[in-house]
Amino acid sequence: MRDVLFSGRWGTISPKSVEAQAAIADFMYRKHGLCLNSAYAALEALLRSLDIGYGDEVIVASYSNAVDSMTVSCVGAKPVFCDIDYDRCTISVESVKESITEKTKAVIVDSYAGDCGDLDTLSKLCKENHMYLIENVGDELVKNKQATATVMDIGKKNSLNTGLAGALVTDIDDIYNASYAYHNCGRSPVATDNLKVQDFVGGNMRIAEWQSSLVVPNIEKFEYKTEESKRLAKELVNESFKVLRVFHDRALFVYNGSNIDEYVILLNKKGIKADKRFAAMHKEPFFKSDYFKKQSGSEGIEDIDLPGVEKALSSFLWVYFD
């Protein structure tokens, strides 16, 4: 950040943001990287670049961050909620198969627990049905190649901890070019005149140099932070509190007791930061509202039974390590 301060170039698009984008692409084994001002912006730019919008459907897991379903809704599409594979804490392939319609344009698979599930099967399924496979690795740097593109959160308390930012990576030139244009007021990355608006609508979703300067140092610390979290997680394991997976700054535990909410309160009183992290998004009243119906051109979300999600809500517990 000292370099940024004395460079006099605090905005974007400048050397540190270019360096950060190249570093993320290299770390994720992808051709292109693009840093934006939030994870929401990264997913929105990607959806726009894929021409997903009003009247379309995008399959998402109900047990997930609100970013997926809300971003899909904001571009005018309808999120179709699926169950999860409880053992892997990610979207269920069988539930995805049951949810495909002629309106389905994409499937978003999350790896908030460090596992994106059966990506090979999902990739094949998407190709057979002419759908895009979008990977949202959230705040983890999970390296896979099957998805059309991958989006991630690189904000506060996340893998790269830049304060507030997001990123996307892809191997496809057209997707990168369109996403870049959308995040840069419609300006193409290959334009000879960078002030000229091209043939793609866009806004200002650019990342500043301050956040960009933190990306490379945090990539260098990533493996160390993960190993330290594993050590801390082992110290917390007991008979009713079994670790399922460990990440760079947190661990997912499976709680076998009778009341997970009371156990969360107990842990917090002991100074251990813990919560249930996610909700069942398909139960949110917004998706039955007139506003959502008008926004998506749909009849809203119907009541559905998702047993994997219900089981996760009563047993998945997240512990955070500073």
Same domain, 136 and 239: no
Domain-terminating residue out of 194, 216, 238: 216
pLDDT at 157: 65
* Residue 104, phi then psi, degrees to nearest 5: -70, 125
Last residue in a domain, options 216, 240, 275: 216
Helix (H) or strand (E) run with residue 232 in it: helix 215-236
Q: What is the pLDDT of residue 248?
A: 64
How far apart, in Å, are the Cα atoms of 253 and each of 96, 160, 238, 256, 285? 26, 23, 10, 10, 29
Same domain for 59 and 134?
yes
Residue partners of 236: CB distance under 8 A and separation at least 6: 243, 251, 253, 272, 319
227 and 180 fall within a common domain: no
Domain of 289: which CATH number? 3.90.1150.10
Name the least confident of 148-152, 196-200, 299-303. 196-200
The tokens for 173 are 């030139």
Tokens encoding 270: 């002991």
CATH code of the domain containing 96: 3.40.640.10
Per the model's pLDDT, the better-predicted residue between 209 and 150 turns out to be 150
Looking at every residue in the chain, the average pLDDT score rounds to 88
- pLDDT > 80? residue 316: yes
Of 215 and 84, the one with more pLDDT? 84
How far is Cα 118 from Cα 93, in angstroms, rounded to an integer?
Answer: 7
Same domain, 145 and 207: yes
pLDDT at 5: 53
pLDDT at 253: 87
Are 16 and 48 members of one domain? yes
Question: Do 6 and 102 belong together in one domain?
Answer: yes
Tell whether 187 and 56 lie within a shared domain. Answer: yes
Query: Domain of 258?
Result: 222-320
Assess whether 56 and 154 both reside in one domain. yes
User: Could you tell me if 28 and 99 lie in one domain?
Assistant: yes
Per-residue pLDDT reduced to its tens digit, 11-26: 667 778 889 999 999 9
Task: Quote the CA–CA distance of 131 and 127 in Å, as a whole number.
Answer: 6
Which of 181, 216, 251 marks a domain boundary? 216
- Residue 199 in this model has a pLDDT that exceeds 80: no
97-106 confidence digits (pLDDT tens)? 999 999 999 9
Q: Does the pLDDT value for residue 7 go beyond 70?
A: no
